[in-house]
Each structure stands twice: as structure tokens, then as C-alpha cells.
Amino acid sequence: MSVDGWNTLLVLGGIRSGKSEFAESLVADAPTVRYVATAPAGDPEDTEWATRLAAHRARRPGSWTTEETADDPRRLADVIAAAGSNETLLVDDLGGWVTVLLDPAHQPADDTATVTELAAAIRASAARVVLVTPEVGLSLVPTTPLGRAFTDALGATNRAVADACDAVVLVVAGQPTWLKPAAAPRAAAVPAQAGPGQAGAPEQPTPPAGAAPDRATGAPEATLPEVFTPAPAPAPAPAPVQESAAWAAPTMALPMVATGLVIQPGMELPMPDDYAGPQAVDRLATLDVPGAGLGVLERVVGFAAATQGTSTPAPWASVRVLLLRGDHAGGAAAGTVPGESARRARQARAGRGALARLAAESGAGLQVVEAPASAPMEDGPALTADEVESALRYGWRLAEQAADAGVQLLVLAACGAGTEAAAAAVLAATAGAEPPAVLGRVITEAGEIDDAAWMKRCAAVRDALHRTRRSPRDAKDVLAELGGGDIAVATGVLLGATARRVPVLIDGPVGVAAGMVSRDLAGQARHWCLLPDHGGQPGVRLAADVLGLTPLLDLRLDLGEGATALATLPLLRSVLALAATLPVHPSLGGEPEDDEEFAEPEPAGPGPATTEPEFAEPEPAGPGPATTEPEFAEPEPAGPGPATTEPEFAEPEPAGPGPTTVEPDERVAVPDSPGRRAD
């Protein structure tokens, strides 16, 4: 079963709620399933009912067997009690069983005793049992005695069976909501899918004493890697933290809420806001900018707006880098120095190297994640099925931990040996790419091109694809056969981040390969990814085209996966800061700014005269020597005493209290007095 740790499960739901489909999906991975049909055949003339039954039969795989109990409702308890520990039963549904139980043909009978026997059989069953039942207690009380008898009997049955089952889930409009978890699974419970530290899973560090138990299995969870922030040199001023609880809030009820994580194809995860993104881009055209705008970086604003759910997105204040280290053995790692990935991981933990320095400059946290090592894909599967399930859940938990810590943006990085070849194999399997066309050249430590190593990698991918040519191409099969541990963990990270509405920056082969795989598990995941640059890698270009991700830049940096995204992060933040803080242009309705530099001077009131402008006429002189006549001045008719001359082209000042001045153009003579010149 896909639900970890639960032996018996009751699925409730209304009419057409999707309860039967959900129950069928829970047992889809069981080797054999016995379908227990409880409903009577019905009226032969009721074609609609016959159509419903035919639809149910058509959905069942050919490997399933069917057993009917409509002739004797008491036999259902016997069927469940007799089932062995290696069997899986799907009972659909208890509504039909109650209908047969109330049939007059089976009366008189002690219906309460029959329900008690059924509950006891479920409680003691060694088999895996999933029971489907309609939830009719939310509707109006029926108006007929027969209707009331049915709802009462079904309600009592549901309560008794729910009490006997390990878990109970209510399906509403196709969305499961888990109502009852068990404290701990019993010994006969469904074998839990291996998680980190469990049997069949990749070796992980032993959890410390007192570690919190896994919600699904009751076993101690493996502790997640430590998160640290490399110290910048010198330390820049910390960016202001902006609280945004909505970015890290749970968005939907998934099966993992109470019963352990269920990762399966067709998951319904949230999508970014369809309206906020276009509104934010349209708003950019109204901002007060001197040029044509942000150009291609408008897409950053649209992406941030859609993922934040607002037309005025804020710059990402809290960023975390997840550095995945998972080596691939065999020809995929040709040309790689042994132990190089471990050295890079130690370097990152110590705050050295390109990735750690860029993280420090951006104020981002760094978490080094040890992914399961992968076997040579040309010889056999890279991972077992249990290891794939474990890696997917582990990646999801990493994203959950980041969201719970308030992280607003994740950056996927990788440093494992052979990751390029593994990603090329995934692209070839999921997109039909030719391995030599998507596998980048091998560069040695001396900066030389190693064509021999490149050919070995191509041969390993070719042989792996030939080996798996008849294998299924489902997401988990591709991860097990070709992808390996780091791509599986990265896929879990993308799915978990999508469920928690946290955007992710990807820029390398592991990130885009995980995007290709996650597309088949939840198509919504790719809409939460942003590709700042393809780094000149052909595989990244192809995957970006398939995923519909257009690179923002073409820097062609090759500093390791994740470094390009971190190098562009300051630019992306600056763009978001401009978009959030620039005002609207005044011509488009924005508020005009006060301009004091060119303010009109206030007119002078009574009192001392204002400062005279250049070329102004001199003030009248008091008693004393006459003022010097300016050059080219035309003399005025002299009165008694020394006369002054009037400068040509002089603009008079407004007169205050005192002698009246005369405009030069009027040339009106005023009687002179001693010590006063004529105006």
C-alpha cells in the first residue's frame, strides 16, 4: 500500500467525491488485490446503476480478483478474518453492504451483532484492508422511514468500523483529509516504505537519542542536515527581514499530514496565482523610470508576483541553498577525480569555495545534503524501489523544514560525481534526447577537454538506455533505473516546495532532471521553478525548453551547479526592489513631487528693499559726493548741485516708502534738491 504504517483504513466520502478512486490508488502498488463487492445486482431495467457498476469494473486492473458478498452480508466478516498477512482487500462499499443487511430477505436478524462481528474481524485482521463507505450523515434527515433506517444503520456501521480501523480519511471533492492516525503501527501493519535509516534504505547517520519518531512508522527519523550561513568577508549589512507567513503556510491537506508521505503520479499540488503575475507586469509600465523599463527581467517580477500572490512582490529576504552530494558509480563518473565531491562538500561546510562565498555575499543559508550513492546504471538499477521512496520523502522533508523556518526561496545545487551523465540519461528517457547532444564536455582540473572520458560517459548512458528499453518510463522507475539518489532527493525537494508554495531556483543538470521527473508526479511543480541561466550546458537548454522555462540571462558561468543562480540573486533582488518601491509616473496618475529648486520668490512687503538684481539701478545717494557715472551713460539735465547719470538698460526696483522713482522710458524730470540726484 502507498500509505505507510497502516494495516486497516476506512475511506469516507460523499456521492461522486472520488472516494473509490482514492481507495484504489492506495492499493495500486500491491502485488495482488482482492476486490470485495458488496452491492446487490440491482434492477435489470436500471441502466444507470448498471453503468455505474460497469465503470467500477473497468477501472480494476486485470490482476485483481473479485469476490461478492451480496448474497450473505454476514460473510464479509468471515472474508476479512480469513485473509492472510500477504493479502490486500479492497471492500467497496459499506453502503451497499448495509442495503443488503436491511433487506427483508435477510430479516429477522440482529443487525447490531452483525456490525460488531465486522468491526471485530477488521480489528483482528492480519491482511491489509481498505474499506470504502458513503458519508450520509451530513445531509438532511430523510423523510421516509426506510430512508431514516438506512442512514441510522450506515452511521452506526461507519462509527464502529472507524473505531476498529488504524486510519480514517474523508474525501471531499477529490481531496483527502485524514481524520484518524494511529499512535503506532502494529506488527502486522503494511511494511513501511524504507526511509533514511530504515532497512533497504541508503545508509544514513544514526539518529541521536531522543529524535522525534516518524509519523508513519514510529521509528526515529533521521535528522536533517545542519543549516548554516557562511560568514561574508567583509560582512555586508543584513537585508531587512520581511515577514510573510503566507509564503510558508501549508496550502492543502495531503496524505502525508497524518499518515506518512504519499508520493504518487497525479498529485494535485497548488499553482501560482494566475492573476497576480500579469498584473505585476502590467504595473511596471506605469512606473516612473527614465528608460524603457526592466526588459527581460520583467519575467522575474511576474514570477515573484505569482508565487507570492501579490501584484507588488517583495525581494526574497530569506534564501536557503541545498547542496546535494550523491555520487554515481561506473562510467557516469569517468574523468572525475576520486573524492572530489566529498572535498567540495567539506569546503562548503567550512564556508570556502565559490558556492559558499556567493551564499555569504547573498546572506543565504547553506545546507549540505548527503544523498544516497548510485550504482552503475549501465549494469543495473541505480537505486532500489525502497531507496527511491526514501529519497523522495527525504527531499520533501527538506523543503518542509525550509518552509517551516520561513525560507522564501530555495536554490538547488549539486556536487556529486557523474551527475551530468545521470541527468542526460533521465533527459533521454523522459524527453527522447540523444545522449551525446545533451551531455556536456568533460573538463579536467587543468582546464583541458577530456574526450576519452566524455565518450565513456556517453557509452554508459547508451548502455543504460539499452538495458531499460523495455522497462516502464514512470517517474519512480526512471529514478530507480537511471536517475539515482541526488536526482531523487531533488525531485522530492521540488514537490515539497510546490506543496508549501516556496519558489526554487535551478540552474544545472540535477535541477532540470528533477524538474522533468516531477512533471510526471505533479505537473504544477515546474511552475514554481525559475531558471536564471542555462550556464552554457546543452542538457539544461533542452530540459528548459521542454519544461517551458526560459533562461533570464546568458552569463555562461561554470562555477558548479547552484553558483550561477546565486551569482544572479543580487540582480533579481534589485529588480524586485525597484518594482516594489518606484512610484507611478505623474503623467499616469502618480503624485507630483515638490520642487523647491525653482520656486517663485515671494513678493517683498514693506520694509527694507529686496536684494537688487544684476544691472539694477543704484539706490539714491545720501548727502555726500556724487556717484560715479557708468560708462556709456546718457547724462540727464542737471539741476542745482552735482547730478548723477542713469545707467542704460537698467531695470528699476519697486519703490518702498521714500522718494518716488520714475521709469526710465518716461524721462520725467523731478526738481533736484541738494545732495539728491535726478531720476
C-alpha cell at 43: 434492477
Name which of 81, 79, 15, 73 is nearest 40 in CA terms.
73
Tell the burial category of 74 from Cβ atoms under 10 Å away from its Cβ (0-12, 13-18, 19+).
middle
CA 574 vs. chain centroid, Å, equals 21
**DSSP 3-state assignment of 385?**
helix
**CA 500, 506, 509, 514: dihedral to nearest 10 degrees?**
10
C-alpha cell at 623: 548727502
Question: Among the options 561, 619, 648, 663, which is catalytic?
Answer: 561
C-alpha cell at 376: 552503475
Between CA 312 and CA 302 the distance in angstroms is: 9
**CA 350, 355, 361, 366: dihedral to nearest 10 degrees?**
-60
Which string of b and e fits 599-629 if b means at least 16 CB within 10 Å? eeeeeeeeeeeeeeeeeeeeeeeeeeeeeee
- How many Cα neighbours within 13 Å face the side chain of 667? 6
Between CA 254 and CA 174 the distance in angstroms is: 11
Alpha-carbon distances of 68 from 36, 37, 414, rounded to whole Å: 6, 5, 53
For the chain, the 3-state helix, strand and coil shares in percent, each to the nearest 5, are 40, 10, 50
Contact between 533 and 324 under an 8 Å Cβ cutoff? The reply is no
Angle (deg, nearest 10), helices 485-499 and 385-404: 40
The DSSP H or E segment spanning 102 is none
Between CA 435 and CA 287 the distance in angstroms is: 46
Looking at residue 616, its amino acid is: A
Cα torsion 401, 405, 406, 407: sign = negative
Between CA 305 and CA 314 the distance in angstroms is: 8
Active site residue 561: yes
Between CA 643 and CA 629 the distance in angstroms is: 9
CA 147 vs. chain centroid, Å, equals 47
Alpha-carbon distances of 21 from 17, 28, 59, 495, rounded to whole Å: 9, 10, 9, 22
C-alpha cell at 106: 435477510
Alpha-carbon distances of 294 from 316, 551, 553, rounded to whole Å: 18, 15, 13
Residue with the three cell numbers 573524492: 339
Neighbours of 337 (CB within 10 A): 11
Contact between 161 and 167 under an 8 Å Cβ cutoff? The reply is no
169: which strand partners?
11, 178
- How many Cα neighbours within 13 Å face the side chain of 269? 30
Which string of b and e fits 402-425 if b means at least 16 CB within 10 Å? bbeeebbbbbbbbbbbbbbbbbbb
Q: Which residues are catalytic?
A: 561
